[in-house]
Amino acid sequence: MEKLLLIDGNAIVHRAYHALPPLHSHKGKPTNAVYGFFAMVLKVINDLKPTYIVVCFDREAPTFRKQMYVGYQAQRPKMEDELSSQFVLIHDILLQSKFKIFEVDGFEADDLIGTISNQAKEEVIILSGDRDLLQLVNGHVRMIAPITGVTKMILFDKAAVVEKYGLQPEQIPDYKALVGDASDNYPGVMGIGPKTASDLISRFQNLENLYNNLGEIAPKVSEKLATDAEQAALAKKLATIDVNSPIKYKNTECKAADINEKGILENFKMLKFNSLIQRFNLEKADEITEIKEEFKPSVLKKKEENQLELL
């Protein structure tokens, strides 16, 4: 079956930046996030050999969640200059190498990934360290998340989500409605911890059914739920990924075989990423260019179809 790899650009860049020690180019520019990002992305491409690849990014414009709740992500510090400059470089390398990128004002990368997952007919594999995206896991969507450094990863299907969290993937927004999310700076129900939240959602299936049956719950817990009912409803909206953002996925625009390995190689040489060049055998991108110039179109077409094998 054909596979679509959806890369959560922001999450993977942040993961790379914080997982690796400082690295710098010969001109003194920071490169650890660039190195780590491509180490993860190329490893997953090499391991999974997807048919299609898409990278999604956030934009700086406020999202609909900010309009919903002014405190959303308000505590997050301004991005460090050493990280923001690497975002620009990563973005440029992806464009030069002909990766398909989606980014839309007002929406997070999560929403774009959710929308594409919803539209795609292929098997979908999401690459992200953001566990909020686990709510998208279903029969045809799985997620790979880094757990140590930039090489050790875990694959989540529905069974793995249930084993890890005791909840179905689609119940994650209901769970977060009760516990809130400190990283995104929104509260849930005061006094409801993770275990109680998990038990309640497992028992009542979703937030709405829970509130329709407050009489079946211990008085102390039901009182907390009643007090923060509006807060819980808002938290669920903030936690729920929008799978209907204004984008259209066309797999013909996202072919892995169209990625320009030569562009990756040239940038890696400039940045002195020699270990990545060797690890993913990227020097062969030069050999492909020589073959394209030497042989006739029928041979070239065969070579282009097999380009992904070189990563």
Give per-residue pLDDT as tens, 110-127.
999 999 999 999 999 999
Taking the model in full, what pTM does it have? Answer: 0.89
Q: Are residues 79 and 123 in the same domain?
A: yes
Q: Are residues 37 and 97 in the same domain?
A: yes
The answer on pLDDT for 309 being more than 90 is: no
Element (H, E) at 198: helix 194-204
Q: Which residue has the higher pLDDT, 300 or 82?
A: 82
Q: Are residues 128 and 219 in the same domain?
A: no
Please, which residues have CB within 8 angstroms of residue 160's CB and are 6 or more apart in sequence?
154
Domain boundary among 211, 227, 257: 257
pLDDT of residue 290: 47
For the ranges 34-43, 68-77, 263-272, the lowest mean pLDDT is seen at 68-77
Q: Are residues 20 and 131 in the same domain?
A: yes
Q: Are residues 101 and 44 in the same domain?
A: yes
Please check whether residue 305 lies inside any domain of the structure.
no
Domains: count for the chain: 2
Q: Tens of pLDDT along 268-293? A: 999 999 999 999 999 876 664 443 44
CATH number at residue 66: 3.40.50.1010
Q: Are residues 96 and 37 in the same domain?
A: yes
Please check whether residue 216 lies inside any domain of the structure.
yes
Element (H, E) at 269: helix 261-271
Please check whether residue 282 lies inside any domain of the structure.
no
The two structure tokens encoding residue 307 = 């380009």
- Average pLDDT of the chain, as a whole number: 90
Q: Which residue has the higher pLDDT, 202 or 148?
A: 202
Q: Are residues 200 and 232 in the same domain?
A: yes
For the ranges 47-56, 141-150, 243-252, 267-276, the lowest mean pLDDT is seen at 141-150
3-state secondary structure of 138: strand
Please check whether residue 177 lies inside any domain of the structure.
yes
Q: What is the DSSP letter of 61?
A: S
3-state secondary structure of 151: coil
Give the domain extent around 218.
169-239
Q: Tens of pLDDT along 80-115? A: 888 999 999 999 999 999 999 999 999 999 999 999
What DSSP string runs through 199-242?
Answer: HHHHHHSSHHHHHTTGGGS-HHHHHHHHHTHHHHHHHHHHHS--
Q: Are residues 75 and 188 in the same domain?
A: no
Q: Are residues 151 and 183 in the same domain?
A: no
pLDDT of residue 79: 78
Q: Are residues 205 and 65 in the same domain?
A: no
Please check whether residue 10 lies inside any domain of the structure.
yes
CATH number at residue 182: 1.10.150.20
pLDDT of residue 286: 66
Q: Are residues 194 and 228 in the same domain?
A: yes
pLDDT of residue 287: 62
Q: For the residues 145-155, what does the mean pLDDT come to? A: 88
Q: Are residues 99 and 230 in the same domain?
A: no
The answer on pLDDT for 307 being more than 60 is: no
pLDDT of residue 80: 85
Please check whether residue 291 lies inside any domain of the structure.
no
- Distance in angstroms (rounded) separating the CA atoms of residues 161 and 163: 5
Please check whether residue 99 lies inside any domain of the structure.
yes
Please check whether residue 84 lies inside any domain of the structure.
yes
